[in-house]
Structure 1
Amino acid sequence: MSTLKINNLSKTYANGVKALDNVSLELENGMFGLLGPNGAGKSSFMRTLATLQEADSGTATLDDIDILNNPAELRKVLGYLPQEFGVYPRITAEQLLNHLAILKGITNAKERKELVNYLLDKVNLYEKRNKSVKGFSGGMKQRVGIAQALIGNPKLIIVDEPTAGLDPGERNRFYNLLADVGKDVIVILSTHIVDDVRELCTKMAIMNLGEIVYQGSPQAAIDELSSKVFQKIVSREQLENYANDYKIISNKMVGGQPLIHVFSEEHPQNGFEQVSPNLEDVFFSKINTSNVLV
């Protein structure tokens, strides 16, 4: 069992943007979801943990490894799948994984071949091992990405926005693969897609404007909103008035009209009906945006 401890991690870019604002988390083996809107600081957090950029202050340790001061040691036990997983042109899946295994220090050719074949089989790409990765679908490229992240028995795997652009079938295959991987190591899944976290993670945090605004289990977050979420279909012309009178946590179009969800300690009457809260309600209530279209 590994433990990742992050204390008061902060990062401000040269343009004055505070990407990380005293972020503290403690994680153990399993799938951990980091949820937040675009620009929340998730990628900055992932890049810092992956030793691709330095923090201004704070500490981060994986077991006895000081991540910020000894990045070379962390890289030996790190698997990283960035948001954009680039591939070399005209290289096969087998060649790509073999090349990356060499870079990760696996010098024995027989051992490397066995590992590459094992990983290709694990991500269900063994039959495609001699095909050019450039011609793979988005889901297949992501599976190659997970395979390379598993090279070297990592203790920590960081996956940044992995399902963006995948079709539902590819997304489900990716979920199953990640869930399988997450049983034995710490996997941090950074995403703005609420379904990713609901499907995969037993623990999560919500990040906004560089800060952690919630951490706990998805179900506990949903339970906090129990009996406090109400919905109503309104006209577009009424939205501004409703935004002034109620705490709207989300709205989406249903049949061409906005369906609003509001947070209220008591039943607001006025045609609202109580609904069971979901993780999307939690997400919008925590980041304090209404997405109201005025």
Structure 2
Amino acid sequence: MQLQYTTYHVKQPMQLLQFIEHALNGVSRSRAKAILSGGGVRVDRKNTRQFDLELRPGQVVEISKRKPKGELQSKFVKIVYEDPQIIVIEKAPGILSMATSHHAFCVKQVLDYYFHRTHQKCTAHVVHRLDRDTSGLLVYAKTLQAEQILEHNWRDIVTDRRYLALVSGELPQKQGSVESWLKDNKAYFTYSSPVDNGGKYALTHYRVLRTDGKHSLVELKLETGRKNQIRVHMQDLGHPVCGDIKYGNGDDPIGRLALHAYRLNFYHPMTGEPLRFETPVPKGFRLGTAQQK
């Protein structure tokens, strides 16, 4: 696709990101960064992604509000935000966050190919994961420094991380918490115990958003990030996640695991800037005939 650029003339010294925000009449910083990182900016006819590029009076900046088409064409991965240090994506169900074997298809592989095609000298560093069949928001680091900061300070950097789940039946309580100790057996099945069984302590908060009697849309917030935590805790409540072939009851109204990481808020590992991301409720989760509770 041929991009259509609007030309702007620099009249006073400032950094490129600030210039874009000003030129586009107060567009949000995250939107300005998305345009810049997506390849939609040229300075003196040269493409640039450098946020802190110092502009001089007399220079010409060209900005396209459209993102170049075809840079990442994947039914499994959608870029939500990107800058030189991190990339936030929305993962579709059916793809691993990272490879479990040398040949496994995964988000990291998709992103590394995208970086190569867009001539970025970086690779995707895994910071956290979602199960293969869980969809939603993930952040990957593009530099080792960003990876180390995110990995070692994850609990302090992440300010809000929530999921949506379509679960079987109608919960008797509209909100509450589930706590237990989770431990895997030799077959990698996670067992839950109300007392310490030598496993890892897990705490999940839930809130019912809608129900139609047969199913309920539930928002979940994790105090701990244990393997299979949501799926096991919803099973503990007697209302397993729909489409869960491992911990479910066979209820599968939408033909997939009905679990989606819809909100991810965190501080940027390099700048400390608060970043907030949220995705719409997946179509199959919406309970079209449901009543708001």
Shorter chain as normaliser: what TM range?
under 0.3
- Whose strand proportion is higher, 1 or 2? 2
| TM-score normalized with structure 2 length | 0.27
- Whose helix proportion is higher, 1 or 2? 1
| TM-score normalized with structure 1 length | 0.27
Structure with more contact order per residue of length (Cα contacts < 8 Å, sep ≥ 6): 1
